[in-house]
Amino acid sequence: MKRYALGVDLGGTNIAVGLVDEDHHIVDHLSRKTNLPRPEEEVEQSIAEICRELVARNDLSFEQDIRWIGIGTPGSVNPKTGIIEFNANFGYHDWHLTADMEKLLPGKVYIENDANAAAYGEYIAGGAKGSKNAVVITLGTGIGSGIIIDGRIFSGFNSAGAEIGHTVIEKGGRPCMCGRKGCWEKYASARALEEDTRAALQEHKDNIMWQYIGGDLRKVNAKTAFDGMRAGDALAKELVDRFIEYVACGLTNVINVFQPEIICIGGGVSREGETLLAPLRKLVDEEDYARNSEHRTKIVVAQLHNDAGIIGAASLGSQNNE
Ligand SMILES: [Zn+2]
């Protein structure tokens, strides 16, 4: 008999729930607005309602068909205590999410930081599948990261670790919301490339990239500079080259610390594929401490994209049951 798990991607904007089978396929999913700000009890009720609806409309029962419920959400999430100590999006402190959800739904509930859950998804069913040690890096608004060591999510003794985006690569550099200056994500996230592209365009009013954005700087995204580079524009190439140098710098740090079998790169900009990866590998090859070793870290693109969070959350029980 086929069994399923529910994977919940609980974000500040949406609560997305997937019914996931044992082959890690999302067979059905349902999403509602998180509607913040509101009290945590209401958010919990919403999660429970969506889960119940998903189970009912697939003619399943929690008792017989659902192995567990996994929830990935931002913030300082402690999977051992089931408590979210702090979550900036929601504004809740010491949120006893696991205990509360287990009162509302039949079955075991697991929680995890959303970036870690997404990394676990890539590890279980995506780009890092088949490895034992992997690091998943998501280049987005910031840099999300998750570290898997010997098949388990590693986030430090207090579950606040694996924040690779907040390691400094330029001392005294750009100020970061974490309080430090020069964090990796201020240079190598998709947003950093966007902001650098905008700043460059303001100084070069006749550049070809203005055509891609219809003269509207708000339409700049991480692809703008890549498109300009493909059209042979020198400024765009300079932006992309510098961006890739910054990504490579942080990746080499990651490799020198962890020597993972695989580093999986996700986020919209990873859709550039080899345009991004080939020069990245070349730069990492020049500086990686183990560059003369026979066994080298593979750098690949993530495969699950937006589904990684749901699939990873739905797989949390298998990690804990090992
Ligand atoms: Zn930072």
Cα gap 270→273, rounded to integer Å: 6
Tokens encoding 13? 């904007």
CATH number (domain holding residue 173): 3.30.420.40
If you measure from the C-alpha of residue 166 to the centroid of ligand 1, how many angstroms do you get, rounded to a whole number?
4
If you measure from the C-alpha of residue 46 to the centroid of ligand 1, how many angstroms do you get, rounded to a whole number?
32
DSSP 165-183: GGSBSSTT-SB-TTS-BSB
Same domain, 168 and 272: yes
Cα gap 80→98, rounded to integer Å: 10
Same domain, 288 and 235: yes
22: which residues sit within 8 A by CB, 6+ positions away?
2, 3, 4
Q: What is the mean pLDDT of residues 116-138?
A: 96
If you measure from the C-alpha of residue 300 to the centroid of ligand 1, how many angstroms do you get, rounded to a whole number?
25
Tokens encoding 85? 């100590």
If you measure from the C-alpha of residue 142 to the centroid of ligand 1, how many angstroms do you get, rounded to a whole number?
9
Same domain, 85 and 205: no
End-to-end CA distance of the chain: 21
If you measure from the C-alpha of residue 186 to the centroid of ligand 1, how many angstroms do you get, rounded to a whole number?
7
Same domain, 137 and 115: no
Same domain, 170 and 293: yes
86 — pLDDT class (breaks 50, 70, 90) = confident
Cβ contacts of 11-14, under 8 Å, gap ≥ 24: 11/73, 11/74, 11/89, 11/114, 12/36, 12/74, 12/89, 12/90
Same domain, 172 and 292: yes
The pLDDT, as a whole number, for residue 89 is 78
The pLDDT, as a whole number, for residue 1 is 82
Question: What is the number of domains present in the chain?
Answer: 2
Q: Are strands 4-10 and 66-73 parallel, antiparallel or unpaired?
A: parallel
pLDDT of 322 over the 60 cut? no
Same domain, 265 and 153: yes
- Expressed as residue numbers, the domain containing 45 is 4-123+307-321
If you measure from the C-alpha of residue 178 to the centroid of ligand 1, how many angstroms do you get, rounded to a whole number?
4
Contact at 8 Å (CB) between 173 and 182?
A: yes
Same domain, 10 and 74: yes
Same domain, 153 and 263: yes
The pLDDT, as a whole number, for residue 88 is 75
pLDDT of 12 over the 80 cut? yes
The pLDDT, as a whole number, for residue 87 is 81
Across 91-105, b (16+ Cβ under 10 Å) vs e yields ebeebbbbebbeebb
Same domain, 139 and 266: yes
Same domain, 134 and 215: yes
Contact at 8 Å (CB) between 185 and 166?
A: yes
If you measure from the C-alpha of residue 248 to the centroid of ligand 1, how many angstroms do you get, rounded to a whole number?
18
As a 3-state breakdown, the chain gives helix, strand, coil percent values, each rounded to 5, of 45, 25, 35
The pLDDT, as a whole number, for residue 91 is 86
Tokens encoding 118? 């997404």
Q: For every residue of 49-65, which 3-state class applies, written as one string?
A: HHHHHHHHHCCCCHHHH
The pLDDT, as a whole number, for residue 247 is 98
270 — pLDDT class (breaks 50, 70, 90) = very high
If you measure from the C-alpha of residue 310 to the centroid of ligand 1, how many angstroms do you get, rounded to a whole number?
26
The pLDDT, as a whole number, for residue 320 is 59
Q: What is the pLDDT of residues 139-172, one digit of tens each?
A: 999 999 999 999 999 999 988 889 999 999 999 9
Angle between helical axes of 40-57 and 97-104 (0-180°, round to 10) = 50
If you measure from the C-alpha of residue 64 to the centroid of ligand 1, how many angstroms do you get, rounded to a whole number?
45
If you measure from the C-alpha of residue 74 to the centroid of ligand 1, how many angstroms do you get, rounded to a whole number?
15
If you measure from the C-alpha of residue 192 to the centroid of ligand 1, how many angstroms do you get, rounded to a whole number?
13
Same domain, 139 and 278: yes
